[in-house]
């Protein structure tokens, strides 16, 4: 928690990182030194003064670097210290789900589009989107118009990504529809890179929420039972409403939900389902996680989306696997897979239990 929003300084940032149990390095400090001028400009802006036609409109920030380098920690610190309320924060998946949902409900018409742009800009002219990563044509095809209109309305972005702007959606289908977005984005943000080689999330994992093998499953269920007994709760089912559709969960215990991996990631569930689960249950127990690679690529992609949401919402995650933690992500050929491995290390890393 930020105590004094006026104290935006490198020593205070290092102190903040240490309190969170993380570690700042020289590369984060170099990236940090790129921010104070932008921070000062944003904090000095009179709301709406610059919108539409002012030449004094400040640029946003685009922070990129490899997984686990501290991008989100740096952007969160920057965002929390901005001393105005007209700001909003999203994970990229949630943001795009919101966009598609809004247009899906009202029809993709000029009137609906105008309503969307007006609502976003009115909700907060500072728009922070974490983990900006374009992987499908549905998102790619609308980002140029979306951000061009938001920029016209005076919205200023803070974005984090594993990719440079030029690497976004690289070699994607119909890239020519997406390319104008990159150009307009680069005109409206200051690009900052964190170039460190260490994955601090993987090194910082000190929890003991990972359970391996047959005995590990017994230990996981024993941990759940201890929680249930301590809370005095009983097993119940739950039915969640996901965009007007019912999602039935068989095993819930108060604020805890239990899933076999195949129930969670081998079925046709998406980010909207995972978001509802994470919002309704703070403790999540997942068992029988296999090694994930090319042979179960769809399951792997769903697990990536699930962990992104759990990580962003800071849910308590307890994981049982049939393979050691470092072997769950069998292939790490792209940044999404690398991010999954990194976040698993932070969320449930440390000594394996139940060996």
* Separation CA 78–CA 71 (nearest Å): 11
Instruction: Check whether residue 210 and residue 114 sit in a common domain.
Output: no
Instruction: Check whether residue 181 and residue 251 sit in a common domain.
Output: no
Return the structure tokens found at 159: 């974005």
> What number of CA atoms fall less than 13 Å from residue 171's CA on the CB side?
0
Helix (H) / strand (E) element for 54: namely: none
Residue-level pLDDT at 332: 77
Instruction: Check whether residue 190 and residue 47 sit in a common domain.
Output: yes
At 303, the pLDDT band (50, 70, 90 cuts) reads very high
Q: Write out the residue range of the structural domain in which residue 157 sits.
A: 10-194
Task: Render pLDDT for 275-292 as a digit per residue (tens, 0 to 9).
Answer: 999 989 989 999 999 999
Residue 355 lies in a domain: no
Q: Among 151-155, 186-190, 203-207, 285-289, name the one with the lowest average pLDDT.
A: 203-207
- Average predicted confidence (pLDDT) for the chain: 82
Mean pLDDT value across residues 233-247: 85
CATH number for the domain spanning 138: value is: 3.40.50.300
**Cα torsion through 296, 299, 305, 310, rounded to 10:** -120
Instruction: Check whether residue 28 and residue 73 sit in a common domain.
Output: yes
Instruction: Check whether residue 107 and residue 253 sit in a common domain.
Output: no
In this prediction the pTM is 0.63
User: Is the pLDDT score of 326 beyond 50?
Assistant: yes
Residue-level pLDDT at 158: 92
User: Is the pLDDT score of 74 beyond 90?
Assistant: no
* Separation CA 19–CA 270 (nearest Å): 34
Mean pLDDT value across residues 142-147: 95
Residue 1 lies in a domain: no
At 55, the pLDDT band (50, 70, 90 cuts) reads low
Residue 275 lies in a domain: yes
Note whether 307 and 340 are within 8 A (CB). Answer: yes
Parallel, antiparallel, or unpaired for β 256-260 and 245-253? antiparallel
How big is the CA angle at 327 (ends 267 and 339), to the nearest 5 degrees? Answer: 70
Residue-level pLDDT at 342: 86
Instruction: Check whether residue 84 and residue 127 sit in a common domain.
Output: yes
Task: Render pLDDT for 79-118 as a digit per residue (tens, 0 to 9).
Answer: 888 878 889 999 898 899 899 989 988 888 999 999 999 9
* Separation CA 70–CA 346 (nearest Å): 13
Task: State the total domains in the chain.
Answer: 2
Residue 353 lies in a domain: no
Return the structure tokens found at 68: 């686990």
């Amino acid at each position: 928690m930020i105590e004094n929003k006026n104290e935006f300084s490198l020593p205070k940032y290092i102190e903040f990182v240490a309190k969170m149990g993380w570690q700042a390095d020289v590369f984060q400090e170099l990236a940090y030194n790129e921010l104070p001028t932008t921070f000062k400009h944003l904090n000095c802006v009179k709301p709406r003064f610059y919108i539409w036609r002012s030449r004094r409109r400040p640029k946003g920030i685009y922070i990129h670097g490899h997984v686990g380098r501290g991008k989100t920690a740096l952007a969160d610190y920057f965002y929390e210290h901005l001393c105005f309320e007209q700001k909003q924060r999203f994970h990229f998946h949630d943001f795009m789900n919101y966009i598609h949902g809004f247009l899906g409900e009202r029809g993709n018409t000029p009137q609906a589009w105008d309503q969307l742009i007006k609502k976003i800009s009115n909700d907060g002219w500072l728009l922070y989107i974490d983990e900006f990563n374009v992987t499908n044509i549905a998102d790619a095809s609308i980002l140029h118009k979306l951000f061009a209109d938001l920029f016209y309305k005076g919205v200023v972005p803070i974005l984090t990504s594993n990719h440079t702007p030029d690497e976004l959606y690289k070699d994607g289908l119909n890239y020519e529809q997406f390319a104008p977005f990159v150009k307009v984005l680069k005109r409206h943000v200051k690009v900052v890179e964190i170039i460190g080689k260490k994955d601090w999330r993987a090194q910082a994992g000190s929890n003991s929420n990972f359970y391996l093998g047959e005995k590990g499953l017994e230990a996981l269920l024993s941990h759940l039972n201890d929680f249930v007994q301590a809370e005095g709760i009983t097993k119940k089912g739950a039915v969640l409403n996901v965009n007007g559709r019912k999602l039935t969960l068989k095993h819930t215990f108060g604020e805890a939900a239990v899933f076999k991996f195949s129930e969670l990631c081998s079925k046709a569930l998406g980010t909207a389902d995972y978001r509802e689960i994470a919002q309704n249950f703070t403790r999540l127990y997942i068992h029988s996680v296999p090694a994930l690679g090319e042979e179960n690529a769809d399951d792997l992609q769903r697990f990536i989306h699930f962990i992104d949401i759990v990580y962003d919402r800071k849910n308590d995650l307890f994981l049982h696997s049939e393979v050691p933690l470092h072997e769950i992500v069998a292939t790490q050929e792209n940044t999404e897979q690398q991010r999954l491995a990194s976040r698993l290390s932070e969320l449930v890393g440390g000594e394996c239990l139940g060996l």
